[in-house]
Amino acid sequence: MTNQTAKQTLVSAAAACLAATEPDTKVALTRQVSARWAAGEIAPGAPADWHPLQTPGRPARPRLVSARELPKRKLNNPAGLASLVHAVAHIEFNAINLAWDAVQRFTQMPTAYQADWAKVAAEEAEHFVLMRDRLQALGYDYGDLPAHDGLWDMARRTAGDVLERMALVPRVLEARGLDVTPGMIERLRQIGDHDTADRLEIILRDEVGHVAIGSRWFHHLCQERGLEPRATSLAMIRLHLHGEVRCPLNRADRLSAGFDGAELDDLEGLCAGGGQRPTQRTAGN
C-alpha cells in the first residue's frame, strides 16, 4: 500500500465532519481536517464505491421550527439581541454542514472544488465560534433558543445536482446574507454593541468570498453543460423559490462575489414592486 492510498481522503474526512453531532466536536474535527489537508496528510478524491451521507449530524438542540414560528427580533433588549446572535450562530453551524456536504456529495467535481469547499467549511467553523462565544457572553448558549431549517431544506432539494446546489445555496440563500448583514451591523452600532458588529464584519467579509466560490463553480458547470448562466440561474430560482427574491440587494458585495450588473437587474426584477436600488454599504465602510 502506498503512502497516497494509505491516506484518508478529503471526501471521507468531510463526511466525518458532517456526521459529528456536537458543535464542539464538529468544530474541532473541521479544524483538524483543515490543518491536515494543508499539510498534505489527506488525499484528494473519494474512497472507492463511495456513498454520501444523507443527513448531517446535529445536536439535540436547538428545537427546529418553521421560520414563521420564530419570534421577531428587537435589538433594544437583551433577549432580542440574544435571539439575533443565536440565529446567526445557527446559520453558521448549518453552513459548516453545507460546505462539507458539498465536498462529500459531489465527488465527480475536481480537486480544486473540494479544496474550495474545505476552505469554506473551516471559515464557517470559525464564524460559528465567533457567534457562539458572543452568545455565551450574553448569558445564553447555542441550542437555548428555537431555530429554523431553511438552509438544510434547500440542501436536501439540491442533493441530486451540483449545478442546482451552486445556483441556489451559495448564490441565493448565502448571498442573502450579503444583503441583510450590513443593515444588522449598522443597527448594532447604533445601540452601541460594537462587539457583535465587529464579529459580523468578519463574517460579511468572508461570506463575499464564499459566494464568489459558488459563483465560480456555477459558471464552470454552466460552461461544461453548454448553458447560459443568467437564464439558468433565473430558471432555477423560479423553479425552486417560485421567483421569490428579496430586495434591496447589496449590489457592491454581490458584484465582488461574482454576480454581474445585468444579473442583478434580473434579480431586482423578481422583487416585489420591481426592487429598490438604495446605496449599499459594505463591510468596513
% of the chain beyond a pLDDT of 70: 93
pLDDT in the model for residue 272:
60
Is residue 178 within 8 A of residue 207, CB to CB? The reply is yes
Three-class DSSP category at 143: coil
pLDDT at 243: 62
Cell reading at 63: 428545537
CB 230 within 8 A of CB 259: no
On the question of pLDDT at 273 being above 60, the answer is: no
Left if phi > 0, otherwise alpha if psi is -120 to 50, otherwise beta: which for 65? beta
* Bond prior to 71 in cis (omega within 30° of 0): no
Which tens digits make up the pLDDT trace of 124-179? Answer: 999 999 999 999 999 999 999 999 877 788 899 999 999 999 999 999 999 999 99
pLDDT of residue 191: 94
pLDDT for res 6: 58
* Alpha-carbon span 174 to 225, nearest angstrom: 24
φ, ψ of residue 143 in degrees (nearest 5): 105, -15
Give the residue among 138, 164, 156 at the shortest CA–CA distance from 217. Answer: 164
- Domain at 76-274, CATH from 3.40.50.2000, 3.40.50.300, 1.20.1260.10, 1.10.240.10: 1.20.1260.10
pLDDT at residue number 192: 95
Q: How many CA atoms lie within 13 A of 196 on its CB side?
A: 30
User: What is the rounded CA–CA span in Å between residue 217 and residue 213?
Assistant: 6
Is residue 277 over pLDDT 70?
no
35/231 Cα distance (integer angstroms): 39
Over residues 102-132, the pLDDT tens digits come to: 999 999 999 999 999 999 999 999 999 999 9
- Region 213-235: mean pLDDT is 97
Copy the grid coordinates of residue 35: 490543518
